[in-house]
Amino acid sequence: MEKLSIRIKVADREYGIKTLPDEEIFLREAGKLIREQIQKYRDLGVKDTQDILAMIALDCLVARLKGDEQTRRLQKMVFDKMTQLDQTITPTLSA
């Protein structure tokens, strides 16, 4: 698959990125979300772009860690339920 050349604006700079066509929408959405977060922090009175980007990076990683933990809990819940069902069904199948 051929890569596309796109430009994404982050803070005060534009970046040229080569991406697969099916990833372009995610890059553009990420750029939009970053711009929105920058505006949120500017509205809160944070002026320094580096400080704003650092806060956005922290926000993103905290959200990622929370999502990873939620995924682990859901996987464990599914595994536990499958184990319970297996323990219920196996004796019936053996009989």
SS3 39: helix
**End-to-end C-alpha distance for the chain, whole angstroms:** 54
Query: Is the pLDDT score of 39 beyond 80?
Result: yes
- Does some domain include residue 51? yes
Specify the number of domains making up the chain: 1
Cα(10)–Cα(13) distance, integer angstroms? 6
Q: Is residue 10 part of a domain?
A: yes
Tokens encoding 46: 């944070």
- pTM across the whole model: 0.77
pLDDT, position 29: 97
Structural domain that includes position 20:
4-90
Residue 49 lies in a domain: yes
* pLDDT reported for residue 51: 97
Look at residue 50 and tell me if it is in a domain.
yes
Which pLDDT score, from 0 to 100, does residue 80 have?
A: 97
Report which secondary-structure segment, H or E, holds 63.
helix 49-94
Q: Is residue 95 part of a domain?
A: no
**Domain assignment present for 59:** yes
Q: And the tokens for 58? A: 């922290």
Output phi, psi for 46, to 5 deg.
-80, 125
